Amino acid sequence: MTIFNLGGGGGGSAAYYIRVRVSASAGTPDLSGIQVTATSSGRPTVTGTTDSTGECYLSVRQGATYTVALSKQYYTFSPASQQATTSEPVTDLTATCYVQPSITVNVGGVDISGRTVTLTPSSGSAVSQVTGSSGSVTFRGLAITTYTIAVDYPAGQGVSPVSDTQATAAGGSYTKSFTILSKPTLEVTVSSATGNTSGRTITATPTSGGNAVTAQTNTSGVATLTLMAGTQYTVACDAPSGYFSVTSQQTTLAAGADSDMGFTLQRKPIVNVTVTDASGGGNEVGRIVQMSGPSDTQTATTVTGGTCSFTANNTGAYSFTITNLPDGASVSAASQTLAADGTYSVSMEISFGWTHGVTFTASTFKTDDAGCLAYADDLVGQTPVSNTATSLAKFTQEGYWAFDPDTGMDAEGCFYATFTSAGVLHQLLNPYDLSKYIAVWNDSSKEWDYGQTGNSAITTENTMFCVPTYYRKGEAGKITHSSKAGSGTAYAHTIDGHVYQYKAIGVYLGYNSGGKLMSISGVTATRTQTRATFRTQAAANTVRSGHAMVWNYHDWRMMFEKFIIRAKRFNGQKLAQGGQSYGSPTTGLTNALGPYAGNTSGQSNAMKFLIENFWGCCYQFLDDVYCSGTTMYVGQNSSPTDNSSNKTAISLPYNTTGFPGEIETSDIAWGMGHATGGSSTTGLCDYQDLAFGTNYPLVYVGGGSGSVSNGRAGPSYVRCNDLSFSYSAGGARLAFAFDV
């Protein structure tokens, strides 16, 4: 007990006291140290403090009225003050108290110093404190209410929780905890099937504006970026040269988050092209290769080794061509489907075309039908066809002129094929067995689909020997066939002024099938019809993008000259058929004997030099030919006529009957008889009966008659007659001119 004695003066007067007793109204407050102050007008102020029990005695004057007030920091008293009149020695006053609420806020995490902690009451003004190094602050003397507590954080960071609340009560002491969160981190991993992941620049750009963040990937292709929390970023990865650009990504990260993101680099396709000479001439340097694909066309020039390289800018189907091909050359089609990260090799072969020339020495022509000819141009050093068989058989030597059994083609691109009833290419035939096919025409891609094989349709579909466009030139001392446009004129392939891609000659003698002249196997060729009838039947065939006709002068000369060039001699009777043997053989007897078949000992029931029974079996009309006097008029028309209209005139001074010992050497007439002096074994070796007169305008070739002795009918055999002529040994051959 604390007693404050003010004293009453002399005379031993009794002491008077005010006894103050303070108790807890809530909680367990410390009752000691409460400041007690008693004031009375005109008298000294009396003060004291309570002891641990909450009591305090103040010595006061008798009969005075005092106002007694209680105080202690952060305490609330009830009543806060009261009056007492000291009429008794001890006047008792009582009061209750509680400690005002306090809230301690502990801030953890990162950057805890300098954080502003704000308490906002449900009504009234907010209070704030700033944390020190400990991260803790305590708010005392708070009101009894509900507070919202918030802690600020550095830019780009965060706090957890974002805010909190606390309802306070008398005597309450509360603790709240907050954590300052770091800026979020984004770990970006760059992967690639082809490397180049190190040193990539990763850039994160705020979508709403602001400073971008960049980082470089390490040797593992990983980069870490520290971002601002709550900000949306567009994240991009740069692509090295030769790679496709990488699609950017977006992300928004919360404070304290550690997130991952990945980018995959895809290298642009690489194409290595090698250009070679198809004839075995090695690699081609200086060729400009053009690569074309989806929205991407590039060119490159081949260097040593015939190679060049491309980096494609897209994926998908690409094609490759050569833009600086020399005249007459062609290149194999090349294509490749490209995918990202792929490396491809493309091979291209240039075919420089061909020029097949044979020189002619007139002075030795009469005595040596083979020695008067020599190979020139691309044929130098090549071997002609030859035959020693004494009965019908495949030629014993085909030399340079053999067909490729895998592709069905020969050195000039010629092939055997059947045609549908609509006049479209159908089956590519095995040249050594026409009863089999080795490919089927793909009309969409305009090429042969190999790998499909089977029995062919030669007994029901027109079966033709197909010759790609070539250019011929006849001159003194030489006959030339070439694939190069500048080397001559495409006589056989020109119809109605249009140069067609192909000329097809019936493999077999023509057969009338339901009013159509057809070239089919297994039938007896039609005879005893006029040329006009054969013409009508030939035209009844349908040929898509072309025309059907009885073969004409230029077709016959094409086949004759192919004999001269391939056999390197004039006397075909010594290779395949020794003169006429007109009978009625079934077509197709040579199907399995290859492109060249016959015998050297005399007549036989069949022969073949590219086409079956080219000579020796029967007469074959030529259409669009008209003879008058010593002039032969030859046409190139889809609708032939029996007059000289729209035809080229050929002057033929040799208009007698016999064996020519000299030949014409002008271009269009090359190889026709010029003067007498030959025999069945010398000179032209074939009979020529062009005793022109006004009544003999019609021309037929290749056969013979009983009045023509053995040995007179060969590849250049030719006669004329009147327009009404028909004969039991007279037939015709079908021809097509067409584009694919």
The model's pLDDT over 615-668, given as tens digits with 9 standing for 90+, comes to 888 889 999 999 988 899 999 999 999 999 999 999 988 766 788 888 999 999
Q: The CATH number of the domain where 111 resides is what?
A: 2.60.40.10
For residues 204-217, give the mean pLDDT: 96
**Least trusted range by pLDDT, from 320-334, 353-367, 540-554:** 320-334
Per the CB < 8 A criterion, the answer to whether 650 and 630 are in contact is: no
Of the candidates 664, 702, 682, the residue with the CA atom closest to the CA atom of residue 563: 702
- Same domain for 171 and 130: yes
pLDDT in tens, 73-120: 999 999 999 999 999 999 999 999 999 999 999 999 999 999 999 999
- Same domain for 289 and 251: no
- Same domain for 220 and 166: no
- Helix (H) / strand (E) element for 563: namely helix 553-567
**Least trusted range by pLDDT, from 171-175, 206-210, 535-539, 597-601:** 597-601
Confidence at 9, pLDDT banded by 50, 70, 90: very low
Of the candidates 392, 591, 602, the residue with the CA atom closest to the CA atom of residue 507: 591
Question: How far apart (Å, rounded) are the C-alpha atoms in residues 670 and 140?
Answer: 127
Which pLDDT value is given to residue 583? 65
More confident residue, 706 or 691: 691
Is residue 9 domain-resident?
yes
This prediction has a pTM of 0.60
Q: Residue 724: helix, strand or coil by DSSP?
A: coil
Query: Domain range holding 116?
Result: 102-181
- Same domain for 314 and 284: yes
Of the candidates 23, 74, 15, 75, the residue with the CA atom closest to the CA atom of residue 46: 15
- Same domain for 147 and 125: yes
Confidence at 712, pLDDT banded by 50, 70, 90: low
More confident residue, 332 or 319: 319
- Same domain for 143 and 117: yes
Confidence at 579, pLDDT banded by 50, 70, 90: low
Of the candidates 33, 193, 136, 19, the residue with the CA atom closest to the CA atom of residue 89: 19
Confidence at 578, pLDDT banded by 50, 70, 90: low
Is residue 505 domain-resident?
no
Question: How far apart (Å, rounded) are the C-alpha atoms in residues 731 and 526?
Answer: 6
Q: Where are the extended beta strands (E) located within 507-654?
A: 511-513, 516-518, 546-550, 596-598, 608-609, 611-612, 619-622, 625-628, 631-635, 647-651
- Same domain for 114 and 72: no
Q: The CATH number of the domain where 230 resides is what?
A: 2.60.40.1120
Which pLDDT value is given to residue 328? 66
Is residue 482 domain-resident?
no
Is residue 537 domain-resident?
no
Which pLDDT value is given to residue 705? 55
Is residue 73 domain-resident?
yes
Which pLDDT value is given to residue 702? 85
- Same domain for 208 and 150: no
Domain termination residue (choose one: 33, 65, 99): 99
Is residue 148 domain-resident?
yes
- Same domain for 288 and 235: no
Whether 299 has a pLDDT exceeding 90, the answer reads: yes
- Same domain for 167 and 189: no
Whether 706 has a pLDDT exceeding 90, the answer reads: no
Q: Residue 596 — φ and ψ, nearest 5°?
A: -130, 120
Which pLDDT value is given to residue 709? 46
Structural domain tally of the chain?
A: 4
Domain termination residue (choose one: 99, 131, 164): 99
Mean pLDDT of the chain: 92
Domain termination residue (choose one: 67, 99, 131): 99
Is residue 130 domain-resident?
yes
pLDDT in tens, 166-178: 999 999 999 999 9
